A = this chain, B = another copy of it.
């Protein structure tokens, strides 16, 4: 571990052999300009060839370093805007204008990332040097009949770990989002938390949770009922909050997190809801409430990042009610630094006052 350098953000675990969402299908229509995206700070040109194939290449022409996103799509090729060099979806150099002879040589290629497109998302494999050994995450309720589905993309100035911990953390909701989910009451309810962790997933089940107060809860469950609540993290970038009240109300809020930079994270979220209230009545409320919650989180996450930058380190004194955050960090660190280390499944139970 590096010694703190005030003014510099602390390093984060970088898990490159994984799928990340770099664009939505909507953003990458046929004929669109190549999209300038990045992963852990490295620019990637995401583009779509004439025949519909999505592609992602390192955003740097080998000739003179100009970003390929400055250029344009020309048929099946991506063409650099400076000297007109052309590359195919695999990154091979197929044309160098003015040059007589074969254009394609190893040094003239750009590295291409594997790409998958599903459920309206363009997933890019983070490491162009190794082939993928998995397939991307599938959002479980994105296409399910009977569910109202709301998608949004937002950006947080925080590390993937900071965003994931925040998304799956219960205690902060009474303060940061006071009035929306929970409030900081003198009388609290003691509930039971069951934490289970494998190499791929960390999950917390909350048992005995009362129906929450606040407007979101009232929107969801006019009739009351028993609460089922799971928070899950799937390596290395998916958070899932599954919440049900009785049989009738079910909400699954999942998001794929993309490490744009070590300390900047995009969230591609899919909120899926099933309630007694018809979708057309519910829809106008879901988006504004989700945005308000996210904005409050974005502010605190940005302050957290700025503070870590000032001190050059994360102080991070955890207690046992930091249920998933420390597990997530351990999982990310292992995948980034020592993926073959032994890893025992883990299970624990504890109590918490909410």
Q: Are B175 and A311 within 8 A (Cβ)?
A: no
A3 within 8 A of B: no
Q: Which of chain A's residues 155-172 have a Cβ closer than 8 Å to chain B?
A: 169-172
For chain A, the bracket of interface size reads 35 or more
Asked, given contacts A60-B311, A175-B83, A311-B60, whether A100 binds B316 with beta carbons under 8 Å apart, the answer is no
Q: How distant is the Cα of A62 from the Cα of B314 in the complex, in angstroms?
A: 9
Which residues of chain B are within 8 angstroms of A311 by Cβ–Cβ distance?
A: 60, 65
Q: Are B82 and A317 within 8 A (Cβ)?
A: no
Q: Which of B97, B300, B353, B354 touches A174 (beta carbons < 8 Å)?
A: B97
Chain A, 171-215, contact with B by CB distance < 8 Å: what is the 0/1 string?
110111000000010001010000000000000000000000000
Which residues of chain B are within 8 angstroms of A184 by Cβ–Cβ distance?
A: 84, 97
Q: How distant is the Cα of A63 from the Cα of B190 in the complex, in angstroms?
A: 22
Q: Are B315 and A60 within 8 A (Cβ)?
A: yes
A281 within 8 A of B: no
A220 within 8 A of B: no
Q: Are B65 and A308 within 8 A (Cβ)?
A: yes
In the assembled complex, the CB of A11 is this many whole angstroms from the nearest CB of chain B, namely 13
What are 22 A-B pairs with beta-carbon distances under 8 A? Answer: A43-B310, A60-B307, A62-B315, A62-B317, A63-B316, A65-B304, A65-B308, A65-B314, A65-B316, A66-B304, A70-B303, A81-B175, A82-B175, A82-B304, A84-B174, A97-B175, A97-B184, A97-B188, A99-B321, A99-B352, A100-B351, A107-B317
Interface residue ranges, A against B (CB under 8 Å): 6, 41, 43, 60, 62-67, 70, 79-84, 96-100, 107-108, 169-172, 174-176, 184, 188, 190, 299-300, 303-304, 306-308, 310-311, 314-321, 351-354
